[in-house]
Structure 1
């Protein structure tokens, strides 16, 4: 834990760690763009267009698994910065191309980048803080992720009024996140926490997941399956029912997130 940091450094570190949670739930922020994309890609099936919302979830899962090995080689700070950069490039790619396969690649890259640092949004809190401060920050991390998703979905809906390409510009928000994190979580801080983290890892290496934790994992799995169905189908349902003001879907999803 960081015992020598000043109050300002402490606040800056908290902001740096929390800010990287803002986009970990935003893969579906562009859900309202699905009908417009279906119209644009008349030669593609509805399922193929919907896959643009679900493919990031697959790559997130894949790279969460791979991230532990990557962290060992390049460290946590570099892993977060590389992950954010990949997510930025992948998130913005659909804004500048109409090639379906490039868009699919961009969505995969967004998920891959997010997956690289996803687990670190929690573990960095555990590395740098303890006791009540740690628990409070974990609660704030969850709230930050939900808030980021709600705001991103709302902004993507506003950008959709231009065209569906523009809705992907919402991922420009990753740029200030890269800056804030690189300034707040410095190499010095990473070095200060690395020794304690190694000692904690040795002390807890033999711990196993309890049945309650496993139940929680399966419960969350089925919860997010239902959320993905809602994200990928809501826009299509509004379109097929011929409801007015379908552009308000992003606002509705934002409110649901809050």
Structure 2
């Protein structure tokens, strides 16, 4: 086994590569805090408060489209690192402000960080792994995504005892992820041969999306819509109908995403 194969099969390398998926769906980790956020911003409507949880999705879409262009300028590794910095800085920013507008803006930039990471969480696996190894890593990546949401939602629920602003501190998890990724994942120059091979394959294949793929995409689109709607509204339903408190809602959402983690693995 050559040194390159040995490195990519190393546990630390695999974990560093998969770890960036831990934060990708963490925008909804603050859902249990919505009841407290409503009290904290009495001049805002319920829909405006829920927007704080869902608005990162809009900037994710924009930055996913722009991420390939950005990576061509600064490289894939640096693009992901910038995304992790944005997640850290703007994820915890609401802890230091009582302004609704500043909180909203910080959540938009948080989504931008997710968007810079999102596509590379998948594409980097395709660059380093092929065949059954790639399929296995994709499954683990899906599991890590659900695991991250489950852990961050659960921890955010624990932090609710101190106030909703403390829930934003869960984004500090991006710091060790940044360090792992920066240390273990090679720079673009070191993995250039892998990307060149991939580019040759892409140049020889004419991309075309078939009708069944469109059908699957629409189906998954609807699933995500229903899932996000349920995740955002669930804590408010639990507290409004006196079915439990925000911490109970957080625990329930964590258990649900834990199921997604098991199926992903």
TM range (shorter): over 0.9
Instruction: List gaps (5 residues or longer) in structure 2.
Output: 259-265
Kept in 2: contact 1:60–1:111 (CA 8 A): yes
Alignment of 1:12-161 (within 5 A): 12-161=12-161
**Which has the larger displacement, 48-57 or 183-192?**
183-192
The structure-2 alpha-carbon separation of the partners of 1:84 and 1:48, relative to structure 1 and needing over 3 Å to count, comes to: same
How far, CA to CA, are the matches of 1:34 and 1:245 in structure 2?
11
**Structure 1 residue 9 displacement after superposition:** 5.2
Kept in 1: contact 2:239–2:245 (CA 8 A): no
Deviations 1:30-85 (A, max 9, x none): 10100101001111111100000110111111111111111111111111101111
What is the aligned partner in structure 2 of residue 198 from structure 1?
Answer: 199
Alignment of 1:2-13 (within 5 A): 4-5=3-4, 7=6, 10-11=9-10, 12-13=12-13
How far, CA to CA, are the matches of 1:195 and 1:58 in structure 2?
32
**Aligned-CA RMSD value:** 1.6
How far, CA to CA, are the matches of 1:194 and 1:92 in structure 2?
35
How far, CA to CA, are the matches of 2:249 and 2:21 in structure 1?
23
**Structure 1 residue 246 displacement after superposition:** 3.4
What is the aligned partner in structure 2 of residue 223 from structure 1?
Answer: 223
How far, CA to CA, are the matches of 2:242 and 2:5 in structure 1?
58
Report the secondary structure of 1:20's partner residue: helix
The structure-2 alpha-carbon separation of the partners of 1:14 and 1:189, relative to structure 1 and needing over 3 Å to count, comes to: farther
Instruction: List gaps (5 residues or longer) in structure 1.
Output: none
The structure-2 alpha-carbon separation of the partners of 1:243 and 1:71, relative to structure 1 and needing over 3 Å to count, comes to: same
**Structure 1 residue 184 displacement after superposition:** 1.1
**Structure 1 residue 87 displacement after superposition:** 1.4
Report the secondary structure of 1:207's partner residue: coil
How far, CA to CA, are the matches of 2:246 and 2:130 in structure 1?
46
TM-score, structure 1 normalization: 0.94
Kept in 2: contact 1:56–1:111 (CA 8 A): yes
The structure-2 alpha-carbon separation of the partners of 1:42 and 1:19, relative to structure 1 and needing over 3 Å to count, comes to: same
TM-score, structure 2 normalization: 0.92
Report the secondary structure of 2:162's partner residue: coil
**Structure 1 residue 200 displacement after superposition:** 2.5
The structure-2 alpha-carbon separation of the partners of 1:35 and 1:245, relative to structure 1 and needing over 3 Å to count, comes to: closer
How far, CA to CA, are the matches of 1:250 and 1:111 in structure 2?
21
